[in-house]
A = this chain, B = another copy of it.
Amino acid sequence: MLDIVPEIDTSEALTERQKAVLDAALRLLVEEGDQLTMTAVARRASCSKETLYKWFGDRDGLLTATVQWQASKVRVAQVDGKGLDLVSLIASLERFASDWLKVISSDTSIALNRVAVSHAGSGKDNLGAVVLENGRFALAKRLKPLLEAGRQAGLLDFADAETAFRTFFGLVARDVQIRLLLGDRLELTDAAIGGDAARATQQFLALFKSNNRPQGL
């Protein structure tokens, strides 16, 4: 019913060495934030700056490649809507919620979103688009089929899958991401994440379960 599915590899033709360099850049980004310098990346990756410039063009190119490299590694649960019943729907929704909370509260995601937000402020918003595409929009692409399957199975009732998804998103994420991005300490234990995922799922079902749908919505 719910399974991790490897996706088409969007990382176009990266050598192992290049991947190692991007991993180093990524670690540096997580550790030191946006002020990672070309020199630091070169030192950490044990490569020359000349190589960095040859491979990635300039600092922006390196940053973009790094973000894409990490993004290509993010995998969210994928579901198969066959034979859906309420129990498995709930389980899948909780899994989605839990996965998403884990992602957005991870150091890597925070660092990447920070640099993308900074970047969006100044000039081309390349990074922001990449992060969105591999984060929020990827999640939507995975979740919507489940919602549609739930509707087909008569378990859910909604007019628009996009709207339903956004409500689910809001119920799950609430203020977590913005608080983390703004530096608020907000430790999310696995237990807390599990509880939040269950709560969000219940609330979502209370709003969109077909037989139980509140009148006048």
Q: How near does chain B come to A66, taking the closest CB pair, in angstroms? A: 15
A83 within 8 A of B: no
The complex is assembled from copies of this chain, and their number is 2
CB of A122 within 8 A of CB of B33, answer yes
Among residues 94 to 115 in chain A, which have CB atoms less than 8 Å away from a CB atom of chain B?
111, 113-115
* CA–CA, A33 and B174, complex, Å: 26
| Residues of B close to A166: CB separation below 8 A | 174-175
Q: How near does chain B come to A154, taking the closest CB pair, in angstroms? A: 18
CB of B202 within 8 A of CB of A116, answer no
CB of A128 within 8 A of CB of B184, answer yes
- Please encode chain A, from 175 to 217, with 1 for each CB lying within 8 Å of some chain B CB and 0 for all others: 1011101111000000000000000001100110000001011
Stretch at the interface among A38-46, A56-64, A72-80, A129-137: A129-137
| Residues of B close to A178: CB separation below 8 A | 113, 136, 177-178
- Please encode chain A, from 146 to 185, with 1 for each CB lying within 8 Å of some chain B CB and 0 for all others: 0000000000000000000011011111110111011110
Interchain CB contact (< 8 A) of A172 among B34, B120, B170, B181: B170
6 closest residue pairs by CB, A with B: A125-B183, A120-B183, A33-B121, A128-B182, A170-B174, A128-B183
Q: Give A residues with C-beta under 8 Å from B.
A: 32-35, 111, 113-118, 120-123, 125, 128-129, 131-132, 136, 166-167, 169-175, 177-179, 181-184, 202-203, 206-207, 214, 216-217
